[in-house]
Chain A
Amino acid sequence: MATLPQLIEEDIRQIDEVLLDFVRQADLIGALVVDKGGFLITNKGDTGDLDLTTIGALASGAFMATQTIAGLVNEKNFNSTFQQGEKFSLFILEIDDECLLVIIFSTETGLGVVKYYSGNVATAIARQLNAARERNPGGGFDLSVLNLANPQELFRKKS
């Protein structure tokens, strides 16, 4: 397994700026950057009390399932998926080999608008993520302060 990728404040700031512009331009409810393993990396928008951690994990799972279907019908890649509801819709677009852009928007916002802007947004985010990966590929994270001799400190059972 490779060393952990690290996202520094500059990475998140750049990605957040791109997302914020996107949310305003396309009148979105929210835009999330999610790792294909299910981790929420960052998000922008007025998402209220939506459980974004779980949405990120489920969206990632759904997208990856769609990729597998692509393989079964001899399609190289379905690079996006779209779900339409009565009030809200969801559009998921592949950013690169590792990440996805998950877009939540009102059904009053046209899918065409979302698609129109999302391509450039994905490209800009991919550029920043790539810069993060190349910055310090051998770098790690110092967790030595943690007392691993006592694993009970990590998760405790209610008494």
Chain B
Amino acid sequence: MAIINQATKELQVKIVYYGPAMGGKTTNLVQVHDHVQTNAGNKGKLVSLATSSDRTLFFDFLPIEAMTIKGFKTKFQLYTVPGQVIYNTTRQLVLRGVDGIVFVADSQFEKMPENVESFQNLIDNLTAQRMSLAEIPYVLQYNKRDLPNAAPMEYMDFLLNNREVQVPSFAGTAHKCEGVFESLNMITRMLLQKFINQSMPQYA
């Protein structure tokens, strides 16, 4: 859950990139790190806790300071989770205190079962922490659109975006930085919008 520090004039929020193994979550963070336009010192180091074969072991972490709202510095902490099924405990740990989620799905036809399984796993892990997709803003990124065996966007929407409330979905080719900033900006916008709604006075 976001932290507001009135003393240091900081708002801190946490965004987690979730999805199946080898889907491009870490690539998203690498692209944000390499291409984001920030003032000097506002971009932290990308920390990757990975195995020797570049698979995420615990999480990747990228702190960025984005903007000042009413004199408050807004600090974003971007995390990825390990996609492999066996690392579920780690995924639960990283989800703690999450404010927004980017679900990175793999567009290849043969990866659809893994996408659906990972999405269900996200729902289960949020439930275990007494959260739900009804209250945590999320967006979908259909990655690897450049591959010849990519499934149609409509089909992926049918599989992953058929809940009561449909969420924004983006075509992505993360290694070319396509769809990366679109997803990040949308989830940021959605979670800030949620905070604004929370701040509205309640009328009887």
> Complex Cα distance A3/B99, Å?
11
Q: Which residue of A lies closest to B34 (CB)?
A: A158
Q: Point out the residues of chain B lying under 8 angstroms from A51, CB to CB.
A: 44-45
Q: Point out the residues of chain A lying under 8 angstroms from B104, CB to CB.
A: none
Residues of A within 8 A of B (CB): 1-9, 11-13, 35-39, 41-42, 51, 53-54, 57-58, 61, 64-65, 68, 138, 140-146, 148, 151-158
Q: Which residue of A lies closest to B63 (CB)?
A: A53
Interchain nearest-CB distance for B126 vs A (Å) = 11
Cross-chain contact A140 with B199 (CB below 8 angstroms)? yes
How does the 8 Å CB contact mask read for B6-41 relative to A, with 1 for contact and 0 for none? 111001101000000000000000001001110000
Q: Point out the residues of chain A lying under 8 angstroms from B184, CB to CB.
A: 154-155
Q: Point out the residues of chain B lying under 8 angstroms from A141, CB to CB.
A: 4, 11, 195, 199
Kindly identify which residue among A5, A7, A11, A58 contacts B61, using a CB–CB cutoff of 8 Å. Answer: A58
Q: Point out the residues of chain A lying under 8 angstroms from B181, CB to CB.
A: 155-157
The interface on chain B, measured as residues whose beta carbon lies within 8 A of the other chain's beta carbons, has a size of 56
Q: What is the predominant secondary structure among interface residues of chain B facing chain A?
A: mixed
Q: Point out the residues of chain B lying under 8 angstroms from A158, CB to CB.
A: 35-37
Q: Which residue of B lies closest to A53 (CB)?
A: B63
Interchain nearest-CB distance for B56 vs A (Å) = 12
Residues of B within 8 A of A (CB): 1-8, 11-12, 14, 32, 35-37, 44-45, 47, 58-59, 61, 63-64, 66-67, 69-70, 75, 77, 79, 89-90, 93-94, 96-99, 131, 135-136, 177, 181, 184-186, 188-189, 192-193, 195-196, 198-200, 202
**Residue with the greatest number of chain B CB neighbours at <10 A, chosen from A11, A36, A144:** A144
Interchain nearest-CB distance for B122 vs A (Å) = 16
Q: Point out the residues of chain A lying under 8 angstroms from B198, CB to CB.
A: 3-4, 140
Cross-chain contact B199 with A7 (CB below 8 angstroms)? no
The verdict on A61 contacting B45 (CB below 8 Å), with A6-B4, A12-B7, A38-B77 known, is no
Q: Point out the residues of chain B lying under 8 angstroms from A53, CB to CB.
A: 44, 63, 75, 77
> Complex Cα distance A6/B44, Å?
24
A-B contacts besides A4-B198, A38-B61, 4 pairs, CB < 8 Å: A8-B6, A36-B97, A39-B97, A148-B189
Kindly identify which residue among B1, B44, B98, B193 contacts A54, using a CB–CB cutoff of 8 Å. Answer: B44
Cross-chain contact B199 with A148 (CB below 8 angstroms)? no
Cross-chain contact B3 with A41 (CB below 8 angstroms)? yes
Q: Which residue of A lies closest to B36 (CB)?
A: A155
Interchain nearest-CB distance for A6 vs B (Å) = 5
**Residue with the greatest number of chain A CB neighbours at <10 A, chosen from B64, B97, B184:** B97
The verdict on A4 contacting B3 (CB below 8 Å), with A38-B97, A146-B69 known, is yes
